[in-house]
């Protein structure tokens, strides 16, 4: 019985952790703007502007005009409820 309870708690904890993670998206296109704090990727007529930090993992030589794939997630900064 004790083993079952432990397994149930571990399963619940893992499920909760997975549910809390934001959905990840990706976009592949040309780097049209680049700075230490942001990157703009253009795919067709759409522009994707994303913040970046020193913690952002970059593999390869990142430069303007290069082709990249960016993985990102969306987080709400503010929500205003309308009547």
Query: pLDDT tens per residue, the chain (83 residues)?
Result: 565 555 555 565 555 555 678 899 999 999 999 999 999 999 999 999 999 999 999 999 999 999 999 999 998 999 999 99
Q: What is the pLDDT of residue 34?
A: 97
Q: What is the pLDDT of residue 12?
A: 57
Residues in CB range of 3: below 8 A, 6 or more apart: none
Do residues 70 and 39 touch, judged by C-beta distance below 8 A?
yes
CATH topology of domain 23-73: SH3 type barrels. (2.30.30)
Query: In degrees, to the nearest 5, what angle opens at C-alpha 51 toward C-alphas 70 and 80?
Result: 115
């Amino acid at each position: 019985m004790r083993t079952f309870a432990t397994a149930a708690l571990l399963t619940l904890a893992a499920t909760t952790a997975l549910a809390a993670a934001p959905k990840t998206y990706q976009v592949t296109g040309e780097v049209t703007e680049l700075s230490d704090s942001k990157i703009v990727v253009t795919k067709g007529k759409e522009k994707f502007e994303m913040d970046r930090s020193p913690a952002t993992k970059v593999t390869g030589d990142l430069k303007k005009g290069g082709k990249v794939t960016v993985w990102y997630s969306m987080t709400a900064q503010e929500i205003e409820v309308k009547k």
